[in-house]
Structure 1
Amino acid sequence: MSGTDWNTHLEYLTESRKRWINLDYMEFLVEKVWHIDKPVRVADFACGLGYLGSILMPILPNGSTYTGFDNADTLLKEARRIFREADYETNFNNCDLVNEDVNGKYDIVICQAFLMHLPEPEKMIKKMIDITIDGGLIICIDNNWNVCNAAMYIDGLNVDGKCNLGLLSKLWKNEKEVYGSDKCIGTKLPAIMQKLGLKNVSMRLNDCVRFINPYGNKDEYKKQLETFYADGWGHEMGDESEFVKSLCNRGLTEEEAHYQYRCEKEINDYVREMGENLMALTVPPMFISFGTK
């Protein structure tokens, strides 16, 4: 996945996956949209810590099973610990999903924030289809970073010009051309799934909005603030020359890279300055695409 060693990202994955999807909305999908009313076998591609299993399994019919596939030993070890006392059957398998075949047959095959990292996401969706029973459900949940950046608000700071969507779009486009990864794939998935022959293809958008409110519940505020930090805001920017060099290697001009550094630095400095007085709003736009085999 673009060369990332996810074994070293345990803390990031733990924090950033929190509050991506509201649990009541997932219940709505299971009951009202997907109409899952009998036990199912679930396979989760790039399961990581098993986040999807932790929110799906408690609301699925009794007797359902969950199998996670990933190639990060550290994450799988932690996932087995997390699910050790679960009252449903779980299995976690070390598997290089890009280069290895996946065995078994499942009623539901799902993935989240995975396809954006792959140079050929269509091949991975085909693998998901291959292990799904006839009439089974394939669910792909992913992001569009342009939408995410467009929806951010920080009280007391004008972020409109600092989240330069034209510049970021250029960055994502260059990354796709060089590395194959697509940061905007979330909105493209229904078309890909339709072309691959899935039926009843549709999409939902999660209803999660993170309102970081220092005047509300203090415990919830701290949780939301921690998630905001995990998303990459409020940190020290580090050396400007290294930052600029990195962005230039990813296709930006030197002028554009310096501009991006200044924008991100102003946001991060302000977030740190405000500390636990920060009021902000972010929207993690997880596009939930699905279809039947």
Structure 2
Amino acid sequence: MSKYYWDNKIEYLKNTRWLYYNDDYLEFLIQRVWKIHKPVKIIDYGCGFGYLGLKLLPLLPPGSTYTGIDKGSALMNEAKEIFSQLSYETEFIESDIEDIELERKYDIAVSHAFLLHIVDPKRIVQKMMDSVRDNGMVICFEPHWIGNMANYYLDGIELSKVIQLGVLQKLYEEDMKRTGKSGNIGIQLPVLLSQLGVRNVGCRVSDKVNFLDQNMDTSSKHMLFSALKEEGLGQQTSDDSSEFTNNLMARGLTEAEARKQYEAESTFAKEFDDESWLVYAPNMKISFGTVSIKDS
């Protein structure tokens, strides 16, 4: 088993990424917002198994190319296997993004749910900027965890009983102070991009809303429910409440807050099953802008 965490999460990534975006909205961004009408060379930082390439290449002008970088050897092997069966021009580089230096030859640098795992995202965004040509673009698809948590509806239960927004916001902020990593990076990126000199900065929100509908066909319902559970919705909490609360206290919560969060997650796990009516919007933020070399 690989020592790299994400090398051991390939099936999880494959089973859950589809919860995040609608293809027609991505097509709208490409054609109407970013106005990409000729082939482009894309570099994907922290590409995993090439998910973003699989989403974007069919929507981009023919002749577009995709290069992915990731330090996971299993992820790189999986990406090469997937794309070997497709007609796109691709390249996969196994390397630690913290160390790699790339030639300035790409039209677009992208990241997907990657910068939230980085202690110094500003440094990585600068690398992304340095890898694109003059008037190239940086596009970051990143989460906004507290926005995500506010976008649930579980029919038959008050949201405040399963989602403690105040406690969670404090937890995310304390985690950032402790680790330097921000699960709310998606909402911070427009500021970071502009401060680094990116021009024409904009930010959109994915329009994907997942509806666990008890009137949908059985196979679709099972697939969606399984993906939602694997994504972490309503996961069973530890039977040992003291272990759970002690962990949260070590992350910055008070004992009362930790107990309240344990009760909330336990209630969610108890109430959410394949017979539930649930609406969930991941609320992924998509930040972007133009790199002008003469201004850098």
Q: In the TM superposition, what whole-angstrom CA distance separates every residue of 1:69-121 from its partner, at most 9, and x where no partner exists?
A: 11111211111121111111111111111233234520011001111121211
Deviates more, 1:19-28 or 1:7-16: 7-16
Write the distance in 2 (CA, Å) between the matches of 1:268 and 1:177: 29
How far does residue 4 in structure 1 lie from its aligned partner after superposition?
7.2
How far does residue 283 in structure 1 lie from its aligned partner after superposition?
0.6
How many matched pairs? 288
Q: State the match for 2:46 in structure 1.
A: 46
How far does residue 191 in structure 1 lie from its aligned partner after superposition?
1.1
Write the distance in 2 (CA, Å) between the matches of 1:145 and 1:4: 23
Counterpart residue identity of residue 230, structure 2: A
Q: Give the match's secondary structure for 2:214.
A: coil
Q: State the match for 2:111 in structure 1.
A: 111
Q: Which of 277, 287, 291 matches 1:289?
A: 287
TM-score, with length taken from structure 1: 0.94
Write the distance in 1 (CA, Å) between the matches of 2:137 and 2:241: 47
Q: Give the match's secondary structure for 1:208.
A: coil
8 Å CA contact 2:137–2:288 kept in 1: the answer is: yes
| Identity value in percent | 38
Q: State the match for 1:177 in structure 2.
A: 177
Q: State the match for 1:126 in structure 2.
A: 126
How far does residue 255 in structure 1 lie from its aligned partner after superposition?
2.1
- Structural RMSD (CA): 1.5
Q: State the match for 1:267 in structure 2.
A: 268
Q: State the match for 2:294 in structure 1.
A: none
Write the distance in 1 (CA, Å) between the matches of 2:226 and 2:49: 18
Q: State the match for 2:246 in structure 1.
A: 245
- Residue pairs, 1:1-293, within 5 angstroms: 5-103=5-103, 105-238=105-238, 239-271=240-272, 275-293=273-291
Write the distance in 1 (CA, Å) between the matches of 2:290 and 2:261: 42
8 Å CA contact 2:42–2:67 kept in 1: the answer is: yes
Structure 1 unmatched ranges of 5 or more: none
How far does residue 276 in structure 1 lie from its aligned partner after superposition?
2.5
Q: Give the match's secondary structure for 2:128.
A: helix
How far does residue 236 in structure 1 lie from its aligned partner after superposition?
2.5
Q: Give the match's secondary structure for 2:92.
A: strand
Counterpart residue identity of residue 276, structure 1: D
8 Å CA contact 2:137–2:290 kept in 1: the answer is: yes
8 Å CA contact 2:4–2:72 kept in 1: the answer is: no
Counterpart residue identity of residue 291, structure 1: G
How far does residue 35 in structure 1 lie from its aligned partner after superposition?
1.0
Write the distance in 2 (CA, Å) between the matches of 1:128 and 1:193: 11
Write the distance in 1 (CA, Å) between the matches of 2:66 and 2:244: 41
TM-score, with length taken from structure 2: 0.93
How far does residue 161 in structure 1 lie from its aligned partner after superposition?
3.6
Write the distance in 1 (CA, Å) between the matches of 2:19 and 2:162: 25
Write the distance in 1 (CA, Å) between the matches of 2:112 and 2:11: 18
